[in-house]
Amino acid sequence: MSLTHARPARTPATAGLSTGRGLVYVVFAATAWGTAGAVAALLYRDSGLGPFALTFWRAAGGFVLLLAARWVRSRGNRPTPVRVTAVREPRGWAAVRVLATGAGLTLFQAAYFCAVKSTGLAVATVVTLGSGPVLIALAARLTMGERLGRGGAAAVAGALAGLSVLVLGGGSAAVRPAGVALAVLSAVGYGGITVLTRWSGRRGAAGDPLDTSLWSFGICALLLLPAALGEGLWPAADGIGRTLLLLGYLASIPTAVAYALYFAGAAVLRAATVSVVALIEPVSAAIIAVSLLGERLTTATLIGTVILLAAVAALAWEEAAAARPD
């Protein structure tokens, strides 16, 4: 059965980007986000930065890099290769959309790091990423009429099962209600970004992904600055060169590049599909942990990875099939 009961019409905003390319963009973004976890682990260990300061520098660095990319693009008078909008947004709506996206991004990041501190990485990850597809599917159904068929529902259930096995398979996680509530709050922020981007894309008002990412990170950095100052904004002097290299990577590939591609892909894909494909993030994080950080490959890691990737592949196939003309 089809992922949805009706194929949404292509709008001027989405006509320039195919479903297949949108899937590739989201897969790349999720894979890059998985590398950010490993980089953050190294920075937490050696840099003296806490979660708010680290997130501030990630957002501020991404803002600066995207601002430079925007300047280079304007000098060359060439459109960004991931631009999906073919119509001009009303200025008022563009401001509201960017402010809402920036606020959602801040909520997503800040609540997640607080959840990790409260209940641990494993539980925070499985609750945030696990509840995301459910919340997004519900919101997409209520706001846009996007409906999962039996195949899509089975793929979402399989993805959640694979994620649970992958993250909680070790059996050592401690569940704390306050941490779970923070993780759900993080999922609300993530879900809001995804649904808003899809809703805007269907109406030809998704905006330029580069500009959306640029101003969203600027808002995120401003909102996080007070908490980062209170926590300790500056990294330790020891090993500052290594810290700057890691922060540079964190601000570029999994932030500036990944989010610009994510916003482009999210504008042309069904919201539930985006949320499930993004579950590749813990898979890439697990691969890096085993191959580069010396963590042990467990049976749960292997089984969870296989289940999760199979579910993502099935949902991507459903999305591509639904987008093909009859």
User: Which of 21-30, 132-141, 280-289, 308-317 has the lowest average pLDDT?
Assistant: 308-317
In percent, the amount of the chain with pLDDT more than 70 equals 65
Q: For position 8, what pLDDT does the model report?
A: 41
Summarised one tens digit per residue, pLDDT across range 279-321 is 777 677 667 766 766 656 667 656 766 776 676 666 666 655 5
Q: For position 294, what pLDDT does the model report?
A: 64
Give me the mean pLDDT over the 155-174 stretch.
63
Q: For position 305, what pLDDT does the model report?
A: 61
Name residue, tokens 């926590």.
231
Higher pLDDT, 43 or 129: 43
CA 214 to chain centre: 15
Query: Given pLDDT bands bounded at 50, 70 and 90, which one contains residue 131?
Result: confident
Q: Are the CB atoms for 271 and 5 separated by under 8 Å?
A: no
Q: Give the CA distances from residue 56 to residues 61, 65, 126, in Å, rounded to whole numbers and listed in that order.
A: 8, 14, 24
Summarised one tens digit per residue, pLDDT across range 254-272 is 999 998 898 888 877 777 6
Q: For position 227, what pLDDT does the model report?
A: 93
Name residue, tokens 């999760």.
308
Q: Mean pLDDT score of the chain, rounded to an integer?
A: 75
Q: Are the CB atoms for 269 and 319 separated by under 8 Å?
A: yes
Give dist(CA 280, CA 103) in Å, integer.
24
The DSSP secondary structure of 81-139, one letter per residue, reads: TT----SPPPHHHHHHHHHHHHHHHHHHHHHHHHHHHHH-HHHHHHHHHHHHHHHHHHH
Q: Are the CB atoms for 301 and 8 separated by under 8 Å?
A: no
Query: Given pLDDT bands bounded at 50, 70 and 90, which one contains residue 225?
Result: very high
Higher pLDDT, 285 or 10: 285
In percent, the amount of the chain with pLDDT more than 90 equals 19
Instruction: Dig out the tokens for 111 from the structure.
Output: 């609540």
**Is residue 121 over pLDDT 90?**
no
**Is residue 222 over pLDDT 90?**
yes
> If we measure between CA atoms, which residue out of 246, 139, 118 comes closest to residue 189?
139
**Is residue 205 over pLDDT 70?**
no
User: Which of 60-69, 168-177, 260-269 has the lowest average pLDDT?
Assistant: 168-177
Give dist(CA 241, CA 238) in Å, integer.
8
**Is residue 15 over pLDDT 50?**
no
When mean pLDDT is compared over 33-47, 91-105, 145-159, the highest value belongs to: 91-105
> If we measure between CA atoms, which residue out of 149, 131, 127 comes closest to residue 139?
131
Q: For position 4, what pLDDT does the model report?
A: 35
